[in-house]
Structure 1
Amino acid sequence: MTTTQHPLGSGFGAASTAEEVIKGIDLTGKVAIVTGGYSGIGLEAARVLRNAGADVVVPARDLERARVALKDVPGAEVEHLDLLDPASIDAFADKFLTSGRPLHILINSAGIMATPLTRDARGYEGQFATNHLGHFQLVARLWPALLAAHGARVVSVSSRGIRFSGVDFDDLHFEHRPYEPFVAYGQSKTANALFAVELDRRGRAEGVRSFSVHPGMIVDTGLAKHIPEEALRAAGALDDQGVPVRDPARQFKTVQEGAATGVWCATSPQLDGLGGVYCENCDISPLVTDETEAEWRADAGRPGVLPYAVDPESAARLWEVSESLTA
């Protein structure tokens, strides 16, 4: 059954932390992979999952940096993975599958934001290739382990950045239109949300459920390094002294608050039997309508997801395109 894009009334909110939403949940015997799990909200997600008893694997391009970052997460495993390198993705997945372990939780948290134009070895635009295609291939390669869990959840970290762009199927890689960093970012985040919709449709009969999340705006994780400080001030994310603003009601969150929705989607029994939805503030987001879109765009604290980011037909089309692009 398709899950309605409508809040549950979870009892949590914008200021809830990852530790709060996972309280009382025992993950002993469960296996989790967290991409980007050695910085920002990915690191916090890895930490709380491990503290709840899960075996946690953190794929990383920079192994030494990851090991240093995870020094206070005893038992976390670090393995090499470069989301821009298809061979690296296959090697990581093959090693995990060879271990014979099921995969109960996969949080796709790694990502880049508003970068200058880069292309991977295939000529694909860098943000789309990293944020979407790399994770698409990772999920495809790890599919046997997700099935073996007999109840798995895949969480893709999307963003309110969906407002910058839908997926331009006619020019995914900015070969015919001027490159705009935030348009490319928005396209990749919309792709994350659409991926969750189609993945859930394909996987739910076999126990694989999927969610996408908006974590909030957390500017002190390194993700915003390509955004000028004056732009962050203008957006209200930094104060006059350059200090990050903390106001979860307006989506300006701490790392602990930013990790909460992803962890909630990955572990909460409130979501048993549900999937294929976009979530924020530790609940399912409402659907933005034509009547409410102007207000939603003007109010950063107003929850909601644009219809094009959860459209089933676009999700199915993106899946087929992604299969072709990743062979």
Structure 2
Amino acid sequence: MAWSSSQQPLGSPFGPDATADEVLAGVDLRGRFVIVTGGHQGIGFEATRALAGAGAEVLVGARSPERAAGKVAGIAGVEVDQLDLVDPASVDAFVGRRLAAGRPVDVLVNCAAVAAPAERTIDAYGHEIQFATSHLGPFRLTLGLRPLLRAAHGARVVNVSSGAQRMGTIRWDDPDFTEGYSPGAAYAQAKRANVLFAVELDRRWADEGIRGYAPHPGVVIGTNLNNRPEDREAYREQGLLDEEGRPVIDPGAGKKTPAQGAATVVFAAASPLLDGIGGVYLKDSEVSVVDGEDRPLTADSIPADAHPDSVDPEAARRLWELTEKTLGL
């Protein structure tokens, strides 16, 4: 198996405890237009805030524009538009409004996600909800915005992934888990798909000036995706919450605040250190090493380096073709 020669550390000055603001210090994004899906909550909100703080104009795509507008109120340069990633009509309408406006898109951050349901949940088209929200919808959105990304003459597409990509397997014959559903397996499949999508997008579109990235934010407890009461005992067992139920912050072990989690996302979106590099999985504001060893998850260790299968170009091509067929594109 081969993967991109760029998938190796480049010597980033930022460590695991860096925040989004620190990563963007000295980066001037004035005149840049950024779209962040789910940019009104959790890691997405911190990315939105930091990117706007560096001068970018940010458009947040959200299922509930009214709710999202309340969350980002007061942040200069941020607007909100309706976008439901599991509804193709909503995605196409969002794309249509952007194409009509005609403004080039410098950065697209595919950040929106959904909490893993205990029971198999599907969208209106029969697709498993995590795969639909984290991969199928963003794929449709990204392809629709391609003319505006191309027009930016140096655009970036950022698919927010997770260290769970190491455990993910693309169920080529049953990605919708019609049999053998597991919340964790479905989540890991979606996160591996985020990386493979970035790898193949970069191969196909780099010549058009569009580069792809898949950052791992770290484990951030307290967002809407992982703050359900029924999950908290498991988080204690995993060393993610202390006995009082407070998040354990240990960036070196991958346990981060939202601001620290957003650091690698904005690193992918805007750091000049990545100029000329694409199709890579990122961790701790750095290009990750590739590690195929079987490393167990413990309370003190959360393996999150790129797995060889997550950056496999053949699997990336296969997923792209499967996704096009699934969506009828």
Q: Calculate the TM-score normalised by the size of structure 1.
A: 0.96
Q: How far off its partner does 1:241 sit?
A: 0.6
Shift of 1:265: 1.0
Check conservation: 2:162, 2:304, Cα contact below 8 A: no
Which of 152, 157, 180 in structure 2 is aligned with 1:154?
Answer: 157
Q: In the alignment, residue 294 of structure 2 is paired with which amino acid?
A: A
Deviation at 1:171, TM superposition (A): 1.1
Aligned match for 1:119, one of 93, 118, 122: 122
- Structure 1 CA distance, aligned partners of 2:8 and 2:302? 17
Percent identity, aligned pairs only, is 49
How big is each residue's C-alpha offset from its partner over 1:126-160, in whole Å with a ceiling of 9 and x where there is no partner?
Answer: 10001100000000000000000000001110001
Tell me the SS of whatever aligns to 2:35.
Answer: strand
Q: Is the 8 A contact 2:4 2:280 kept in 1?
A: no
Query: 1:69 offset after TM fit, Å?
Result: 0.5
Q: Secondary structure at the match of 1:133?
A: helix
1:242 aligns with 2:245: yes
Aligned partners of 2:163 and 2:303 also within 8 Å: no
**Contact kept? 2:56, 2:77, Cα under 8 Å:** no
Partner of 1:42: 44
Contact 1:210 1:275 in 2 (8 A): yes
Contact 2:205–2:211 (Cα < 8 Å) also in 1: yes
- Candidates 57, 61, 64, aligned match of 1:62: 64
Cα distance, 1:132–1:110 mapped onto 2, change above 3 Å = same
Superposed CA RMSD: 1.5
Equivalent of residue 251 in structure 1, options 251, 254, 257 = 254
Q: Which range moved further: 39-48 or 162-171?
A: 162-171
- Corresponding position: 1:181 with 2:176: no
Paired positions, count: 323
- Deviation per CA, 1:236-276: give whole Å up to 9, x if none: 11000100111101111001100000101111111110000
Report what 1:308 is aligned to: 309
Alignment of 1:1-40 (within 5 A): 2-40=4-42
Q: Which runs of 5+ in 2 are unaligned?
A: none
Matches for 1:207-246 after TM superposition, within 5 Å: 207-226=209-228, 228-246=231-249
Conservation of the 8 A alpha-carbon contact between 1:288 and 1:296: no
TM-superposition CA deviations, 1:169-208 (whole Å, max 9, x none): 0111111x22100000000000001000000001101100
User: Contact 1:32/1:56 (CA < 8 Å) preserved in 2?
Assistant: yes
CA shift digits 1:45-73 (9 cap, x unpaired): 11111111111100110111101100131
| Offset, 1:115 | 1.6
Tell me the distance in 1 between the aligned counterparts of 2:158 and 2:247. Answer: 26
Normalised TM-score (structure 2): 0.95
Post-superposition offset of 1:99: 0.5
The reply on whether 1:324 has 2:325 as its aligned counterpart is yes
Quote the offset at 1:326 in angstroms.
1.3
Is 2:6–2:278's contact at 8 Å kept on the other side of the alignment?
no
The structure-2 alpha-carbon separation of the partners of 1:186 and 1:75, relative to structure 1 and needing over 3 Å to count, comes to: same
- How far residue 303 of structure 1 moved from its aligned partner, in angstroms, is 4.9
One-letter code aligned to 2:80: V
- Residues of 1 paired with 2:130 and 2:164: CA distance? 13
* Structure 2 residue matching 1:282: 3-state secondary structure: coil
- Aligned equivalents of 1:122 and 1:326: distance in 2? 10
Task: Quickly say closer, same or farther: Cα 1:192–1:99, change in 2 above 3 A.
Answer: same
1:285-308 deviations in whole A, cap 9, x for unaligned? 00013xxx1346556355511111
